[in-house]
A and B are shown apart, each in its own frame.
Chain A
Amino acid sequence: MAGIGWKLQRLIDRGSLAGTIGAYLTGVAVTSAPWLLTTAVLTSLRIVARRSGTDFAIVERFLTLVYAVTVILSAPIHVVVSRYTADRLYDHHLEKIGAPLRRATAMVLVGFALCGVLLVTLLKLPLLLAVVGAPLTAIIGAQWLMLSVGGGMTSPMIVMRAFGIGAPLSLVFAWMLDTTVGLGAAGYLYGFAAGQLATLAILVQGVARAVPGDADESARLAPAFREYRLLALSALAYYVSIWADKIVVYLVLGGTAATFYAAIAAVAWFSVIPAFAWIYVQIETSFYRRFRAFYADIEIGAPLRRLQQGAEEISAEARRILRGAGVVQASASGIAIAAAPFLVHAVGLSPNATPLFRLNAIGAAAQMITLLEVLLLYYFDLRRDALVISAGLLCSTVTLTLLALALGRQPVLGYLLACLATSMFGAVLVRRRLSTLMLDTFQSQPFGVS
């Protein structure tokens, strides 16, 4: 229960409805604000563009691809950097964070700029769009990196402020450049990029304040990539799985169908926000407390009975969170399914999207539960198991989406079945691993190591 965990616990401990709501809203802000605001901006831009008669499709397709590529490629970096940062915070070596972070930022900017160049070339964007397309890719990639560090080192308010300011600015600049300067589609992209640049600037400033000035220039991030390679692969597989069905649709049915499909999925994903926030609050408070207590008991020399009790409490807590997340998610999904026609209309999608949206919402719910299972396995450093689940989700999503398309069915059916199957497999795996927590905790200690 790092800084944010204590704050959440204090809010909950007040015992008032306001305190509890405040805790869960904080959870929403921390877990979902960046993509919520970004998705809201993109959706708003689509609506604004439609009203002004501007051809927003090419911009939307490009931005969808930019987010897909940056999210996927950032995932392993995100996990390793955040883990490296957490380790340095734990061992009180904050001076080892600054230098690797600077180098990583430079590499991410260059790397994603090259990705951007590749994307604008593949999409054959006009020069006016291409000029800003490549830097925008680098900006988004750098945002993810800053989020990975900022989540552990800075106040969630900095992240909130960055996206809270950047997102409206994107919208305002885009609208101004379209309507005032008359740049059309290019105006939307330039405006959006300007807002995202502001977001990045605020994030960089916040992280820079948190990182100590006296940096250890000899600190290296590369060994962390070796050590956490299974975590990195797991994160990569999970994030690819989020986009895998869309990529399959893009490759099989083409860009227009994929954009439509991705837009539905993006909206459906809003239904996981309550469960995501609930999971975040539960893991950061009660689960973390039991988790820490168990390991602290081991270290301070508690006898077997007390440790067995602690292990049982952790196991029960994990089961409770899985059940609770299921209930919260089922409620949110139920509401989303019931309100599907309204939601689809509100975000500017055609009424044909309604049944697809419903199926996507169920799939997203299962994928959220899978994410919780992966997070629980991360907690116990069961990184290989986490990789198995993530890779399983990816493989089944690709296979079943392709199968659905081959059988002439909606691709979302493949995605839905993959997510359901993986979440059930994950639940079984988590339960089994927790049942041997005592055994694994002790016996995984290597023998004969100095």
Chain B
Amino acid sequence: MKSLEADVCLLVEGTYPFVSGGVSSWVHDIILGHPELRFAVLNVGSHPGAYGEPRFQLPDNVVGLHRVFCQETARPPLDGAARADLREQIRRLRTTVDTRARPSRVLAGLRRMHLDGASDSEGQQSILDDLATNDLALDELLYGRASFDLLTQLSDRAAAQAPFLDLFWHFRAIHVPMLRLLAAPVVPAACYHAIATGYAGLLAAVWSRRSQRPLALTEHGIYAREREMELARADWIREAAETDDGGFGLRTATWAPHVSPLRKIWSGFFRALSRLAYAQAGRIVTLSECNRGKQIADGAPAAKIEIVPNGVDLPDDAPVREAVNDNDAPDEGLIELHPAPLRVGFVGRVVPIKDLITFIRACDLALHSVDLQVRVIGPMDEDAAYATRCRDLVARLGRGAKIAFVGPMPPAAIYGDLDVVVLTSFSEGQPLVILEAYARGVPAIASDVGACREMIEGRDAADRELGPSGFVTRVATPKETAAALVRLASDPTLRRRMGESGRRRVAAYYQRRDMLASYRALYAAMGAGDPSIEVRGVMQQRQRGAGTL
């Protein structure tokens, strides 16, 4: 890997190249698709050791892989004497900090982020200028009087009834990653491209501000919305509830009939991060009209937003297979239908946001009516506890013979053996899995999240004329997913028609070459690229097969 200044610095949060999945595959594809550009990748990770070895082989045009961590590795507990030493250090530190000539601009920026609400673009950029000064040391945040004052103001204004101990730790958990990121050395690049808002978006915005280099932002899912969904299920947010005797008790905030103040603070923080990235970005790319609307609602200027859908290559060896229905002679170009059982695939990481539980329950329900052969294809090591829970559910339902966990597979080997792909996610952007399935003539059943509906039913009148390429179900409704499975299993003609619609849809709207052309134009507009650069070997890697799902 050469240590050259990059044309484009891609900033990702927790994904490429250490985690497999849709966004990582997309990033890999963008790099491979622009062999004339030099890329640096900045990966924002949670803490050292959180991820293993890279899941993708870095292309030759990646000139630097950099990592920043939100947290450091946990240290062993302190004994009483060490705490006394710490207390003394804190006191010495306060003496220094409390007498500083000028108050911290970063702290002022944080105060405005939390307490001043959504301000205009200039206001956001002023906050970014404050944050870019990086004049708040981590110790100052943890132990300084001014940061404690901010915490008490936050409590008074936004969480007066919240458990203060919890608020204290949440306050640290929110801001320590920020300070660690702000302190990270800038990766020099002609332009910055954040592949989400959040922490990666913040860092990209600050670097862009510091270096006066342009910033583009691509959002697959809407970061702030996804975090809100996680927060809604977070059992680490507790809420104080007054008891009959005037005392206090704590419950998890998921129990509460209203949104807890701590959840609001987290949610507000993530939205504030998004606003900062939106304000600094010269171009904002989203995958679908649906997401565009959400971004505007979250403060993104409409004029900056451009829709560039994901894309896949249409395979040259289009699947032409025999129909099962004896009466239907196979027409040329028609998709082969496999005789029963229906081969169902869940393709993706086995993590809670994919709601595999709903998928398993749906298969169980459908198996009462039709025969299925179900495969869960994807890594199971990201959330081992959840994967175990899913396996246990299959065992408890007695479906071990019908539902198999097969682990990760190369994309090319997946769809040939599937009749339908199912996604039951709580959140998605524009799932590549669906496009990959379409390219192979496999219809999809997906929950109504992200761009799934427009991918299945069509995004405009011309698109809708192609016909539906699967079924859209409500989130977390196993019955609806099961009904869709039963229909597809019972109606091979419908299955074939939907598969064909999907393939036509990809050909019309979701071609990889179109997506790459859009980004090539975007990068050129941002001043990135030197046409004289040739990176050997890149073209040989253009197949996304370097990674596995």
Q: With a 10 A CB-CB cut-off, give which of B76, B83, B166 has the most chain A CB atoms.
A: B83
Tell me the bound Cα distance from A356 to B247 in angstroms.
55
Is A450 in contact with B77, judged by CB distance below 8 angstroms? yes
Is A300 in contact with B71, judged by CB distance below 8 angstroms? no
A interface, by DSSP: helix, strand, loop or mixed?
helix
**In which size bucket is the chain A interface?**
20 to 34
Among B332-361, those with CB < 8 Å from A are: none
Tell me the bound Cα distance from A297 to B166 in angstroms.
12
Is B83 in contact with A446, judged by CB distance below 8 angstroms? yes
**Partner-binding segment picked from A19-27, A62-70, A213-221, A380-388:** A380-388
| A440 closest partner in B (C-beta) | B87
Is A444 in contact with B87, judged by CB distance below 8 angstroms? yes
Q: Which residues of B contact A449 (CB under 8 A)?
A: 74-78
Tell me the bound Cα distance from A438 to B167 in angstroms.
14
Is B80 in contact with A228, judged by CB distance below 8 angstroms? yes
Q: Would you call A305 an interface residue if the criterion is a C-beta within 8 Å of the partner chain's C-beta atoms? A: yes
Tell me the bound Cα distance from A18 to B72 in angstroms.
61
Q: With a 10 A CB-CB cut-off, give which of B71, B155, B163 has the most chain A CB atoms.
A: B163
Is A384 in contact with B164, judged by CB distance below 8 angstroms? no
| A223 closest partner in B (C-beta) | B79
Tell me the bound Cα distance from A228 to B176 in angstroms.
31
| B142 closest partner in A (C-beta) | A447
Whole-angstrom distance between the Cβ of A117 and the nearest chain B Cβ: 33
Tell me the bound Cα distance from A20 to B156 in angstroms.
42
Whole-angstrom distance between the Cβ of B116 and the nearest chain A Cβ: 20
Q: A303-B162, A381-B80, A440-B87 are in contact. Are A447 and B172 (CB under 8 A)?
A: yes
Tell me the bound Cα distance from A86 to B101 in angstroms.
46
Is A301 in contact with B165, judged by CB distance below 8 angstroms? yes
Q: Would you call B152 an interface residue if the criterion is a C-beta within 8 Å of the partner chain's C-beta atoms? A: yes
Could you give 17 example pairs across A and B, Cβ below 8 Å?
A227-B81, A228-B80, A297-B248, A298-B164, A299-B165, A301-B238, A301-B248, A302-B240, A302-B248, A303-B164, A304-B155, A306-B248, A447-B172, A447-B176, A449-B77, A450-B75, A450-B76
Q: Would you call B143 an interface residue if the criterion is a C-beta within 8 Å of the partner chain's C-beta atoms? A: yes
Is A301 in contact with B250, judged by CB distance below 8 angstroms? yes
Tell me the bound Cα distance from A227 to B76 in angstroms.
15
Q: Would you call B539 an interface residue if the criterion is a C-beta within 8 Å of the partner chain's C-beta atoms? A: no
Is B160 in contact with A304, judged by CB distance below 8 angstroms? yes
Is B83 in contact with A444, judged by CB distance below 8 angstroms? yes
Among A432-450, those with CB < 8 Å from B are: 438-440, 442-450
Chain A 373-394 per-residue mask, 1 if CB under 8 angstroms from chain B, else 0? 0000000011110000000000
Chain B 148-184 per-residue mask, 1 if CB under 8 angstroms from chain A, else 0? 1000100110011111111110001000100000000
Q: Would you call A226 an interface residue if the criterion is a C-beta within 8 Å of the partner chain's C-beta atoms? A: yes
Whole-angstrom distance between the Cβ of A23 and the nearest chain B Cβ: 28
Q: Would you call B282 an interface residue if the criterion is a C-beta within 8 Å of the partner chain's C-beta atoms? A: no
Q: Which residues of A contact B172 (CB under 8 A)?
A: 447
* Interface residue count on the B side (C-beta < 8 Å): 42
Tell me the bound Cα distance from A442 to B160 in angstroms.
17
Whole-angstrom distance between the Cβ of A26 and the nearest chain B Cβ: 30
Of the candidates A298, A382, A447, which one forms a contact with B165 in the assembled complex, judged by CB atoms under 8 Å apart? A298
Chain B 474-507 per-residue mask, 1 if CB under 8 angstroms from chain A, else 0? 0000000000000000000000000000000000
Q: Would you call A230 an interface residue if the criterion is a C-beta within 8 Å of the partner chain's C-beta atoms? A: yes
Chain B 248-289 per-residue mask, 1 if CB under 8 angstroms from chain A, else 0? 111000000000000000000000000000000000000000
Tell me the bound Cα distance from A160 to B160 in angstroms.
51
Q: Would you call B88 an interface residue if the criterion is a C-beta within 8 Å of the partner chain's C-beta atoms? A: yes
Tell me the bound Cα distance from A382 to B80 in angstroms.
10
Whole-angstrom distance between the Cβ of B237 and the nearest chain A Cβ: 12
Q: How many A-B residue pairs have CB under 8 A?
A: 97
Whole-angstrom distance between the Cβ of B99 and the nearest chain A Cβ: 16
Is B80 in contact with A448, judged by CB distance below 8 angstroms? no
Q: Which residues of B contact A443 (CB under 8 A)?
A: 90, 142-143, 148
Is A448 in contact with B248, judged by CB distance below 8 angstroms? no
Q: Which residues of B contact A306 (CB under 8 A)?
A: 248
Is A444 in contact with B90, judged by CB distance below 8 angstroms? yes
Q: Would you call A307 an interface residue if the criterion is a C-beta within 8 Å of the partner chain's C-beta atoms? A: yes
* Leading 10 A-B pairs by shortest Cβ distance: A301-B163, A450-B74, A304-B155, A301-B240, A301-B250, A304-B164, A227-B80, A227-B79, A300-B248, A444-B87
Whole-angstrom distance between the Cβ of A51 and the nearest chain B Cβ: 53
Tell me the bound Cα distance from A153 to B48 in angstroms.
47
Tell me the bound Cα distance from A449 to B77 in angstroms.
5
Tell me the bound Cα distance from A305 to B165 in angstroms.
12
Q: With a 10 A CB-CB cut-off, give which of B148, B161, B164 has the most chain A CB atoms.
A: B164
Chain A 136-159 per-residue mask, 1 if CB under 8 angstroms from chain B, else 0? 000000000000000000000000
Is A303 in contact with B163, judged by CB distance below 8 angstroms? yes
Chain A 412-450 per-residue mask, 1 if CB under 8 angstroms from chain B, else 0? 000000000000000000000000001110111111111
Q: Which residues of A contact B166 (CB under 8 A)?
A: 301
Chain B 62-97 per-residue mask, 1 if CB under 8 angstroms from chain A, else 0? 000000000111111111110110111010000000
Is B87 in contact with A382, judged by CB distance below 8 angstroms? yes
Whole-angstrom distance between the Cβ of A106 and the nearest chain B Cβ: 26
Q: Which residues of B contact A230 (CB under 8 A)?
A: 81, 84
Q: Would you call B145 an interface residue if the criterion is a C-beta within 8 Å of the partner chain's C-beta atoms? A: yes
Tell me the bound Cα distance from A349 to B242 in angstroms.
65
Tell me the bound Cα distance from A134 to B167 in angstroms.
60
Tell me the bound Cα distance from A382 to B85 in angstroms.
10
Is B81 in contact with A300, judged by CB distance below 8 angstroms? no
| B145 closest partner in A (C-beta) | A439
Q: Would you call A7 an interface residue if the criterion is a C-beta within 8 Å of the partner chain's C-beta atoms? A: no
Tell me the bound Cα distance from A304 to B157 in angstroms.
11
Whole-angstrom distance between the Cβ of B342 and the nearest chain A Cβ: 48
Q: A300-B250, A304-B155 are in contact. Are A448 and B74 (CB under 8 A)?
A: yes
Among A103-162, those with CB < 8 Å from B are: none
Among B431-454, those with CB < 8 Å from A are: none
| A298 closest partner in B (C-beta) | B165
Whole-angstrom distance between the Cβ of A431 and the nearest chain B Cβ: 15
Q: Would you call A229 an interface residue if the criterion is a C-beta within 8 Å of the partner chain's C-beta atoms? A: yes
Chain A 216-242 per-residue mask, 1 if CB under 8 angstroms from chain B, else 0? 000000000011111000000000000
